[in-house]
Amino acid sequence: MQTMKKIAVLTSGGDAPGMNAAVRAVTRGALSKGWEVMGVHNGYAGLLGDEFQRLQARDVGGIVHLGGTVLGSARCPEFVQPHGRKQALGHLAKHGIDALVVVGGNGSQSGSASLAREGFAVVGVPSTIDNDLYGNDVSIGCDTAINITLEAIDRLRTTASSHRRAFAVETMGRNCGYIALMAGIAGGAEVIALPEQELEPAEVAERLRAAYQRGKTHALAVIAEGARCGVHELMQYYGAHRKSIGFDLRVTRLGHVVRGGIPSAADRVLATRLGAAAVDTLAESARGVLVGMVRGDIVITPLEEITGRTRPADASLLELARVMAI
């Protein structure tokens, strides 16, 4: 069993609200075990570029409530290349780092898996608004993203009802419909379009038309970024069938707004638990694993098992949303 003396932590991929709480938890969890901690700036790009900074307890003070990541993040294609990883491993060795904690989503944890394959001690902490990581029920950032989407839905409903309009709201999530599904159910959406269960534009329009005919004063269609029937396709269809739908239809694309701002309490608590658990996992000599939350418990899954897999949203909940929209 290797005795841990010094670890590094980085945040990688798309920033997610709660990443800072995770960095704080990793740092303070490790310091409390008597280890040294180095923060790596700008994700894997900082590993390649030798951007290390010693972190003490006060360096991670006053960040638990901040969105984004104080360490900075990046998407780093060079890290996929063997020469990029060699450079990264060289810098980790130069600083005497025994293990690395990677806070990030799917792409970032594939990077962790390749470092683990090279024999380096890595633990992944799932952080992505998309909530699409295998081996984990809920990732850091997705609760805040759902709440931001929900707030937008609630606000748009005000105008929709006042003007008897329909709104199509596009929210982020890459190829996973989790944010759209949860925000759509919580916001009482008339239609939810997900990549996990595709709808044709004609079907979305038909549901809006039916809502109009049932006497609704508004209709909300929540469209996941990755759905094939996107807001563009929907507007094209609407342009050709405007009269028969009843509602006037407008589009709002939330884009990166969904990823910004302060993390929710749930994301801060999740990030604190997962960050501390990553340190405990290293203390127990487990390596090459993702530390996730499954049914409320900390569960570790080998990174090899999660690589190349994703976790889809539970499309069976669409039926519930449909019943609620009558």
Q: With binding defined as CB under 6 A, does residue 311 bind ligand F6P?
A: no
* Residue of 288, 302, 8 lying closest to 120 (CA atoms): 288
Q: Which helix (H) or strand (E) holds 106?
A: helix 106-117
Report yes or no: 6 and 38 within 8 Å, Cβ to Cβ. yes
- Of 55 and 222, nearer to ligand F6P (C-beta) is 222
Q: Which helix (H) or strand (E) holds 170?
A: strand 165-171
* Least distance to ligand F6P, CB of residue 8, Å: 23
Q: With binding defined as CB under 6 A, does residue 109 bind ligand F6P?
A: no
* Least distance to ligand F6P, CB of residue 232, Å: 15
Report yes or no: 289 and 121 within 8 Å, Cβ to Cβ. no
Local structure of 232: helix, strand or coil: helix
Of the candidate spans 92-100, 125-133, 229-237, 293-301, the one that interacts with ligand F6P by CB under 6 A turns out to be: 125-133
Annotated catalytic residue within 15, 130, 143, 267: 130
Site residues (CB under 6 A) for ligand F6P, limited to 199-258: 225
Local structure of 319: helix, strand or coil: helix
Show the binding pattern over residues 151-190: x = contacts ligand F6P (CB under 6 A), - = does not.
---------------------xxx----------------
- Of 130 and 196, nearer to ligand F6P (C-beta) is 130
Is 130 one of the catalytic residues? yes
- Of 27 and 112, nearer to ligand F6P (C-beta) is 112
Of the candidate spans 59-67, 76-84, 93-101, 128-136, the one that interacts with ligand F6P by CB under 6 A turns out to be: 128-136
Q: Please identify which residue in 109, 128, 136, 149 interacts with ligand F6P, judged by CB under 6 A.
A: 128
* Residue of 256, 260, 283, 298 lying closest to 125 (CA atoms): 298
- Count interface residues toward ligand F6P (CB under 6 A): 10
* Residue of 72, 281, 81 lying closest to 289 (CA atoms): 281
CA distance 195 to 218: 24
> For 191-200, b where at least 16 C-beta lie within 10 A, e where not — what string?
bbbbbbeebe
Q: With binding defined as CB under 6 A, does residue 149 bind ligand F6P?
A: no
- Residues in the site for ligand F6P, rule: CB under 6 A? 14, 105, 128-130, 172-174, 225, 259
Active-site residues: which are they?
130
